[in-house]
């Protein structure tokens, strides 16, 4: 069977390359390429300007709860003796806290450390116990702390005043922080001749805590106690348009 060469156009291409169907396909492919290229170019050029603002919200409240750590220390010639004496002192401190209104679950021994004798310093063992106490009657807090020292507490620290409805107050502080941040964002947009666009992200953070430290011989912590502040911050990212 004899082969015949394909017919070619004046440009040297096969004649089928110039058929209407092939031309339409070529044009469609070129159109898709141009559309994709235009879209990518638009995306690269049309990235919106962003502004990040931080706002703060503060809520003041009278404290209703106090949490603190009692450190108890006993010394004795043997480890067995010091552990026995340390246990008695711990029970006395727990019973005292309960007598001033602390619930069973609000008085917890958190650690016990036995320290052996140190050559040239002491021949005794030491038992160091830490107790975390939560009380909800602040009227007698000073008296309770004084009594703890009287029964043998070595130090009382990490005193934190707080409130029982802290979650609701935290939410209120966060709402205020977001409103504050949004108002600042509007001011920045107005100053730059733009308007706020879409909100991209919101992050919140704690920005403060209340605390105090009481050592033996110091004044009671509630003598200078006033309102506590719950402080929260909110960071907002907006598009500008």
CB–CB of 197/48 below 8 Å? yes
Same domain, 202 and 217: yes
pTM value?
Answer: 0.57
Give me the pLDDT at residue 206, please: 85
CB–CB of 95/157 below 8 Å? no
Same domain, 190 and 155: no
- Domain total of the chain: 3
In 3D, which of 115, 132, 235, 128 has the Cα closest to residue 184? 235
pLDDT tens for 77-89 read: 999 999 999 999 9
Same domain, 73 and 157: yes
Distance CA 17, CA 29 (A): 15
Same domain, 81 and 154: yes
Predicted confidence band of residue 215 (pLDDT cuts 50, 70, 90): very low
In 3D, which of 52, 58, 138 has the Cα closest to residue 102? 138
Distance CA 9, CA 110 (A): 95
Which structural domain, as residue segments, surrounds residue 41? Answer: 1-47
Same domain, 88 and 127: yes
Instruction: State the helix-helix crossing angle for 79-99 and 141-150, rounded to 10 degrees.
Output: 160
* Mean pLDDT, rounded, for 206-231: 57
């Amino acid at each position: 069977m004899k082969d015949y060469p394909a017919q070619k156009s004046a440009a040297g291409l096969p004649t089928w390359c110039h058929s209407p169907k092939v031309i339409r396909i070529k044009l469609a492919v070129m159109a898709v390429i141009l559309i994709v290229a235009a879209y990518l170019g638009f995306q690269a050029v049309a990235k919106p300007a962003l502004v990040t603002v931080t706002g703060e919200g503060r809520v003041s409240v009278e404290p209703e709860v106090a949490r603190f750590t009692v450190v108890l220390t006993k010394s004795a010639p043997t480890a067995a003796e010091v552990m026995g004496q340390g246990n008695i002192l711990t029970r006395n401190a727990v019973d005292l806290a309960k007598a001033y209104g602390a619930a069973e679950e609000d008085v917890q021994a958190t650690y016990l450390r036995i320290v052996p004798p140190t050559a040239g310093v002491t021949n005794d063992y030491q038992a160091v116990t830490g107790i975390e106490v939560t009380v909800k009657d602040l009227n007698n807090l000073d008296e309770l702390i004084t009594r703890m020292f009287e029964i043998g507490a070595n130090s009382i620290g990490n005193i934190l005043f707080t409130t029982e409805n802290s979650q609701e107050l935290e939410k209120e502080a966060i709402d205020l922080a977001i409103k504050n941040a949004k108002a600042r964002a509007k001011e920045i947009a107005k100053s730059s001749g733009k308007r706020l666009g879409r909100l991209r992200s919101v992050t919140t953070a704690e920005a403060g805590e209340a605390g105090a430290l009481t050592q033996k011989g110091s004044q009671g912590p509630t003598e200078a106690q006033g309102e506590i502040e719950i402080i929260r911050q909110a960071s907002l990212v907006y598009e500008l348009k």
